[in-house]
A and B are shown apart, each in its own frame.
Chain A
């Protein structure tokens, strides 16, 4: 019951943040140079007087500001994210069509980064001061300092151009018309490079955190007790240390969700992955502000959802958490 109340509270908070983002979007359109209707229409639509008039009518742009805001919020609540003049389709349709690809990419990258980050962090922590530790920490330090888009380009250069092992662009082989398992295998092959690239940066973050957090936990009394009792070292690492050390990693993973979405924009751009990140790049390129803000809204909602999930996961892993 207490848990349910906690989740409900978090949900309410997420809705409040979402509302704030809508308001922010509303003012951003008005912060752009030029008339809001022209901004919404984008550069191409701005020349079409009839369309501009229609937009003015639809968003009540000659009414007072608070009425305009009410109209805007009302639209978003019904999931009407506006019209992309450039693509001549509703923004929501464009975004939701592309969402699964982004979820596949970020989800895979997330699993890779957490799994490998924990693994390498744990390995380094168990062998503090050895060559293995130095190697892991140095790699983590370097990946942490490397621009994501550059890693992506270098991966293409090495694995696609030089070695020819993996496809460099897209999500499936063009014109292959595969079905069933063959299709899944094809997508998986295309997924390897983008997911690894996106995952590596976060892996570096998690490996560093796991290492330091494990070292901290390893110094605590209950671990000494376990050691004194004669518990096998492997079991101490897995059960006593790692289980406690994983908590800050989960907290950080929740915070990093937003970064993952940002990273997806860069990765999808380089690998021509047909997700909302790539769509954002196209929207930028075409100065399609309506689409741009729509994607911003949906990706923020995605991050909030993700934060909610990590909050819930956390309550299950750490029963000590105060459910306030």
Chain B
């Protein structure tokens, strides 16, 4: 391992929160990958009597829902949806945000003005309401949920990348690259962007967390893909029977909470490890 990499891990693992977060996250990822092995049957299949309380029957530790579907299977397959939507929508947001932020920060002037107005506009509109409208208009599906979340979450990335570019674009190494005759695109992607990676990585890990929360809220409102079992959908379906079956809404909620918490902890750990000088005090 390179000394810098070793340094990074030492700092990251010294933070107990980050370590716990990483462990929880690893568990969720493994659960998602091995879902078909853990629960070979379809999570939509009715396998037991309805309203079976948790721990009542062996193998159905999480109980069943109103139609006798296994909550445990839903939890496992829900992890797939959450992670998939969380990661892909973050990639979408990063693509838009990094491109616009880099152009604004690198070129400055009018380009910067125009792009920042555009960014401000998207930052002002209530983003969850926009996501709802987008998914409703595009018709609910995994793709439309990903697109909607991507569209509402890119502005902070653009602002961050723009700020970094503004401070880096007049540095010597950029001037050197220009003297050597590199094109603007080469300088943007080859010289400046690699130097802005650590704050982007930190932001990305926190964005996956937010995206998972957004996805669960959309599916809770019935705007998820009708063919996939997601945690938000499970809670939405359990809402009306909360008096009879607490477990139907409690377990998927805990799953969301743990996953999002883990990602936030990992993000903070990354922040402290990648920007040791900026690490917050009092922790």
A196-235, CB < 8 A from B: 212, 215
Is the CB–CB distance between B133 and A153 below 8 Å? no
- Shortest Cβ distance from A217 into chain B, in angstroms? 12
The answer, among A145, A157, A257, for a CB contact under 8 Å with B264, is A145
Q: A304 in the interface, Cβ–Cβ < 8 Å?
A: yes
Per-residue interface assignment for chain A, residues 139 to 152, with 1 indicating a CB less than 8 Å from any chain B CB and 0 otherwise: 00110111111100
Is the CB–CB distance between B127 and A262 below 8 Å? yes
In the bound assembly, the distance between CA atoms of A257 and B223 in angstroms comes to: 23
In the bound assembly, the distance between CA atoms of A149 and B253 in angstroms comes to: 9
- Shortest Cβ distance from B149 into chain A, in angstroms? 12
The answer, among B121, B217, B238, for a CB contact under 8 Å with A147, is B217
Q: B136 in the interface, Cβ–Cβ < 8 Å?
A: yes
In the bound assembly, the distance between CA atoms of A199 and B73 in angstroms comes to: 33
CB closest chain-B residue, reference A255: B123
> Known contacts A148-B217, A150-B256: does B124 contact A304 (CB below 8 Å)?
yes
- Shortest Cβ distance from A265 into chain B, in angstroms? 7
Is the CB–CB distance between A284 and B132 below 8 Å? yes
In the bound assembly, the distance between CA atoms of A270 and B260 in angstroms comes to: 21
Is the CB–CB distance between B126 and A149 below 8 Å? no
Tally chain B residues at the interface, Cβ within 8 Å: 46
Is the CB–CB distance between A153 and B253 below 8 Å? yes
Q: B8 in the interface, Cβ–Cβ < 8 Å?
A: no
B203-243, CB < 8 A from A: 209, 213, 216-217, 220-223, 232, 235-236, 238-239, 242-243
- Shortest Cβ distance from B61 into chain A, in angstroms? 20
The segment out of A49-57, A295-303, A315-323 that lies at the interface is: A295-303
Is the CB–CB distance between B125 and A258 below 8 Å? yes
Q: Which residues of A contact B130 (CB under 8 A)?
A: 296
Most chain-B Cβ atoms within 10 A of its Cβ — which of A257, A258, A259? A258
Q: A129 in the interface, Cβ–Cβ < 8 Å?
A: yes
Q: B91 in the interface, Cβ–Cβ < 8 Å?
A: no
Is the CB–CB distance between A299 and B129 below 8 Å? yes
Tally chain A residues at the interface, Cβ within 8 Å: 54
Q: Which residues of B contact A11 (CB under 8 A)?
A: none
> Known contacts A147-B232, A212-B280: does B129 contact A261 (CB below 8 Å)?
yes
Most chain-A Cβ atoms within 10 A of its Cβ — which of B127, B136, B221, B249? B136
Q: Which residues of B contact A21 (CB under 8 A)?
A: 125
Q: B30 in the interface, Cβ–Cβ < 8 Å?
A: no
Q: Which residues of B contact A24 (CB under 8 A)?
A: 125
Point out residues on A near B: beta carbons under 8 Å.
17, 20-21, 24, 28-29, 31-33, 128-129, 133, 141-142, 144-150, 153-154, 156-157, 161, 212, 215, 255, 257-259, 261-263, 265-266, 269-270, 280-281, 284-285, 287, 289, 292-293, 295-296, 299-300, 303-304, 307
